[in-house]
Structure 1
Amino acid sequence: MVTEEKMRAVVARGYGGPEVLDVVTVPLPEPGPGQVRIRVEAAAVNPVDLATRSGALAEAGLMTAREHTGIGWDVAGTVDKLGAGVTALAPAQRVIGLRDLLDVSLGGYAEHLVLDAAAVAPAPPGVPATAAATLPLNALTALQSLDALGLTAGDTLLVTGAAGAVGGFAVELAARRGLRVIAQTGPADEDFVRAAGAEWTVGRDTSDLAADVRRHAPAGADGALDAAGLGIRALAAVRTRGAYTTVAGGTAPPPLRGIRLHHQWISADGAKLAELAAMGLTLRVADVLPLERAAEAHRRLAAGGIRGRLVLVPSANG
Structure 2
Amino acid sequence: MRAVVARRLDGPEAIELIETDVTEPAAGQVRIKVAAAAVNPVDVAVSTGMLVEFGLTAPRPQFGLGWDVAGTVDATGPDTQLDVGDAVIGVADLLAQTLKTHAEYVVLNADAVARAPRGVELHDAATLGLNGLTALQAVKALDGQTVLVTGAAGGVGGYAVELAKHLGKTVIASAGPRDEELVRRLGADHFVDRSEDLATAVRRFAPAGVDAVVDAAVVGIAAQEAVRNGGRHVHVQGGPRPPHLRGITVEQLLVHANSHELEELVSLVEANVISTRVAETYRLEDAAIAYKRLAAGGVRGRLVLLP
- Write the distance in 2 (CA, Å) between the matches of 1:106 and 1:243: 37
Equivalent residue runs for 1:225-264 within 5 Å? 225-264=214-253
Q: Mapping of 1:10-49 within 5 angstroms? A: 10-49=4-43
Residue 178 (1) aligns with residue 171 (2):
no
Residue in structure 1 matching 2:149, options 156, 159, 165: 159
CA deviation map 1:15-55 (0-9, x unaligned): 11223211111111110000000000001000110111111
Picking from 124, 133, 140, the partner of 2:133 is: 140
> Which residue, out of 36, 39, 50, partners 1:56?
50
Q: How does 1:1-318 map to 2 (within 5 A)?
A: 7-86=1-80, 88-151=81-144, 155-206=145-196, 208-280=197-269, 281-314=274-307
Give aligned pairs, total. Answer: 303
Q: TM-score, normalised by structure 2?
A: 0.97
Instruction: Tell me what 1:3 maps to.
Output: none
Q: C-alpha separation between the residues in 1 aligned to 2:62 and 2:251?
A: 33
Is the partner of 1:137 in helix, strand or coil? helix
Q: TM-score, normalised by structure 1?
A: 0.93
Shift in Å, 1:196:
1.0
Q: Distance in 2 between matches of 1:185 and 1:276?
A: 24
Q: Distance in 2 between matches of 1:215 and 1:15?
A: 44
Q: Counterpart of 2:285 in 1: which secondary structure?
A: helix
Listed one character per residue, the Cα deviations across residues 41-94 of structure 1 (whole Å, up to 9, x for unaligned) are 0010001101111111112221121222100001000000111111x2111010
- The secondary structure found in structure 2 opposite 1:217 is coil
Pairwise CA RMSD of aligned residues? 1.0
Seq. identity, %: 53
**Does structure 2 conserve the Cα–Cα contact (< 8 Å) formed by 1:125 and 1:278?**
no
Distance 1:8 1:233 in 2: 43
C-alpha contact 1:14 1:69 (8 A) present in aligned 2: no
Post-superposition offset of 1:272:
0.5
* Residues 221-254 of structure 1: per-residue CA shift (max 9 Å, x gap): 0100000111110000000101111111354321
SS of corresponding position for 1:159: strand
Q: 1:177-205 deviations in whole A, cap 9, x for unaligned?
A: 00000000122111111111110011111
Are the aligned partners of 1:172 and 1:196 in contact in 2 as well (CA < 8 Å)? yes
Return the alpha-carbon distance in structure 1 between the equivalents of residues 291 and 21 of structure 2. 25
Q: What stretches of structure 2 of length at least 5 have no aligned partner?
A: none
Q: Write the letter of the residue equivalent to 2:36.
A: A
SS at match of 1:262: strand
SS, match of residue 157 in structure 1: strand
Q: Which amino acid aligns with 1:21?
A: I
In structure 2, the residue corresponding to 1:310 is in which secondary structure?
A: strand
Native 8 Å contact 2:54 2:239 kept in 1: no
Rounded to whole Å, the distance in 2 between the matches of 1:100 and 1:51 is 14
Give the distance between the partners of 1:251 and 1:143, measured in 2 at CA.
Answer: 22
User: Which stretch of structure 1 is more off in the superposition, 166-175 or 7-16?
Assistant: 7-16
